[in-house]
Amino acid sequence: MSDRAAAARRRRLVWKGLEAAILLGMLFLILFPILWMALTAFKRPVDLFDLTILFTPTLDNFRTIFGAPWNIGRTLLNSTIVAGLTVLISVPASTLAAYAFSRFEMPFKGALFFTILATQFIPAVVVVLPFYLLFRDLGLLDTHLALVVVNLAIVTPFATWMLKGFLDAVPTESEEAALVDGATRLRVILDVVVPMIWPGVVVTAVFCFILTWNEFLFALILTRDDAVTLPVGITRFRTERGDLWELIAAAGILISIPMFLLASVIQRHFVRGMTGGAVK
Amino acid sequence: MRDRWLKYMLILPAALIVLGTTIWPLAVSLTTSFRDWRLTRSLTPGPFIGPEHYVIALTDDPDFANAAMVTGLFVLFDVTLTVVSALGLALLLRRAGVLQSVTRAVLILPFAVSPALVGISFRFMFNAETGVFTWLAGVLLPPLKGFVWLADPWAALLVLVFSDAWRWVPYMTLVVLGGLAALPKEPEEAARIDGATEWQVLRDVTIPALLPVLAVVAILKTVFALKMFDQVVTLTGGGPGTSTVTLAYLVYSIAFRWYDMGYASAVAWILTALLVFLAVWYMKLILRKPGQT
């Protein structure tokens, strides 16, 4: 009997050890690529392929990418403008639509909501072909406007879905009270509803900002010089002279840090972004 | 009662955005797919030629067949790896503990990294001879010493899967953790009291209850794996040869290297049709849930 208990205890101990080993392995896998990139960003080219972590750190790479000919500051600005404008247009529009979907009945509501949501499954490459031709004819290739327009296609369905989830969870009493007091519906939305779901609006805006910031395909096809955003900008460091890894890493850190911060801010709600409240 | 008109006005901006940025381009590329239009020959669309592009793609184009095969394999490996790892990791992270909370805290990070950057970093780490993962693989498995990952068709595909899983597994783990937290505790406890082993509880109680969440994870991952593009450009460039050319990348090549807009649109629409089919299935699954209208 005590033999069996001892065996069970041993088995539990082995299992605990195994669990810890798996978790440590996972931690390593998740963090290592990020840490390696961070280290590489501070390396001189001669230390690049040294696998040691003992090297003389330098800020030269950051200095280089901000200087000519790379001018990453410009790219950074482009990314900020495109992601910012996209969010500023799509989040208000999505809030209004989500409110209507959440509070009103209407014919074809199901079909309409379904259509808006289904569009997020469309591959970006099928959307970009006609836009490429249109923007080429209009002379709008390589502009912020072009990128904002196509990014709206990606972001608006997500935002509508996320915001409807937040709106559904809010009680309607205070809205109804304000309506009875004679306020118009639009005033109620602005003064009562939006303040109540403000955290949800922020989470949605941040999520959409991250999506747009990281977007690659549209920027690759629709920009050349003036409106290039960061994800395409980093591919510029792969030159004919070879890949300038230390510069790629420095730019990579620059792209990622703001997104890490934003993602941590909305951590708890991050998952809703893709699953739209299907999984809480 | 002005609400009757107001509700449509509220939807209008978002509806116009979706109409203009998604429905319109979809309609244009659908009509383009039935026309002969090579930008190298003409700046305006050519004549309608019927379903010829679709017939060619589905019956007589080795590039399409190859891309369909690559995409299929990628989806298979990627979805399997993601669902299994996310489930396993979530089950391990469910308990309290220091290691658990540290891991839970970093799960958010990979998804915030631009996929294009993920591709480039993995290219760096799997660099021949000097890449840190190339070196690590050689240390852990000596026969792999000196193996050039990105020069081997199968290994390159696996590295591509690995890079995509790196970004998605942690995110999907959070989704599964959310599902686990929402499960009622009683059935598991009742099973334990009845003398079931932990393994039996997992197999007969927990996993069946989690199936709807796992279905969400599997379908979402399938959709995003089918659309995979960014890392193909920045990690493998479709190579070696054409061994990692996915359908989305093939569309890009046809349109912006060979400038055949008609054929590119047709291939894009074959991919779209597949995704719309999945979308309908997915929406039925999640909109059916009570309280989720």
Q: Provide the 3-class DSSP secondary structure of residue B48.
A: strand
- For B146-167, how does the pLDDT look when each residue is reduced to its tens digit (9 = 90+)? 788 888 999 999 999 999 999 9
Taking the CA of residue B117 and the nearest CA in chain A, the distance in Å comes to 7
B82 falls within a domain: yes
Mean of the pLDDT values across residues B284-290?
65
Euclidean distance between CA atoms A204 and A196, whole angstroms: 14
- For B:46-85, CB contacts with A below 8 A are none
- For B234-250, how does the pLDDT look when each residue is reduced to its tens digit (9 = 90+)? 999 888 989 999 999 99
Taking the CA of residue B232 and the nearest CA in chain A, the distance in Å comes to 11
Judged by a CB distance cut-off of 8 A, whether residue B31 touches chain A is no
CB contacts of B166 in chain A (<8 Å) are 29-30, 33
Note whether A121 contacts B269, CB cutoff 8 Å: no
Domains contained in chain B, number: 1
B185 falls within a domain: yes
- For B74-131, how does the pLDDT look when each residue is reduced to its tens digit (9 = 90+)? 999 999 999 999 999 999 998 888 888 888 889 989 999 999 999 999 998 998 877 8
**Which of B9, B17, B43, B164 should be substituted to probe chain A, the one whose Cβ sees the most A Cβ atoms within 10 Å?**
B17
Which residues 6+ apart lie within 8 Å of B72 measured at CB?
A: none
B27 falls within a domain: no
B17 falls within a domain: no
Q: Provide the 3-class DSSP secondary structure of residue A238.
A: strand
Euclidean distance between CA atoms B243 and B164, whole angstroms: 17
Burial class (CB within 10 angstroms; exposed 0-12, middle 13-18, buried 19+) of A139: exposed
Taking the CA of residue B174 and the nearest CA in chain A, the distance in Å comes to 7
Burial class (CB within 10 angstroms; exposed 0-12, middle 13-18, buried 19+) of B187: middle
Return left, alpha or beta for A122; rule: phi > 0 is left, psi -120 to 50 is alpha, else beta. Answer: beta
Determine the residue of chain A that is closest to B169 in CA distance: A30
- For A221-277, how does the pLDDT look when each residue is reduced to its tens digit (9 = 90+)? 999 888 999 999 998 888 877 788 889 999 999 999 999 999 888 876 766 655 554
Determine the residue of chain A that is closest to B20 in CA distance: A153
Q: Given B14, B223, B226, which is nearest A93 (Cβ)?
A: B14
Which residues 6+ apart lie within 8 Å of B280 measured at CB?
A: A118
Q: Given B10, B20, B125, which is nearest A96 (Cβ)?
A: B10
Whole domain around residue B203: which residue ranges? 51-287
Query: Is residue B169 a contact partner of residue B89, using CB atoms and an 8 Å limit?
Result: yes
B6 falls within a domain: no
**Chains A–B, number of C-beta pairs less than 8 Å apart:** 268
Taking the CA of residue B31 and the nearest CA in chain A, the distance in Å comes to 11
Confidence of residue A33 (pLDDT cuts 50, 70, 90): very high
In the block, which residue shows the tokens 């590329």?
Answer: B29
Q: Given B117, B135, B252, which is nearest A256 (Cβ)?
A: B117
CATH of the domain at B71: 1.10.3720.10
Whether the pLDDT of residue A280 is over 50: the answer is no
Mean pLDDT (chain A) is 87
pLDDT at B290: 46
Tell me how long chain A is.
280
Helices then strands, counting H and E runs in chain A, come out as: 14, 2
Mean of the pLDDT values across residues B269-281?
89
Tokens representing A106 are: 């209407």
Note whether A217 contacts B102, CB cutoff 8 Å: no
Note whether A186 contacts B6, CB cutoff 8 Å: yes
Query: Is residue B75 a contact partner of residue B271, using CB atoms and an 8 Å limit?
Result: no
Instruction: Work out the number of other CB atoms within 10 angstroms of the CB of residue B268.
Output: 30
Euclidean distance between CA atoms B253 and A198, whole angstroms: 43
Note whether A112 contacts B15, CB cutoff 8 Å: yes
Burial letters for B56-89: b for 16+ Cβ neighbours within 10 Å, e otherwise? ebeeebeebeebbebbebbbebbbebbbebbbeb
Amino acid at A125: V
Taking the CA of residue B135 and the nearest CA in chain A, the distance in Å comes to 9
Q: Given B10, B24, B261, which is nearest A99 (Cβ)?
A: B10
Return left, alpha or beta for A276; rule: phi > 0 is left, psi -120 to 50 is alpha, else beta. Answer: left
Q: What single-letter DSSP state applies at residue B219? A: H
CB hemisphere CA count around B49 (13 angstroms) = 16
Confidence of residue A205 (pLDDT cuts 50, 70, 90): very high
Strand bridging mode A242-243 / A238-239: antiparallel
Mean pLDDT (chain B) is 89
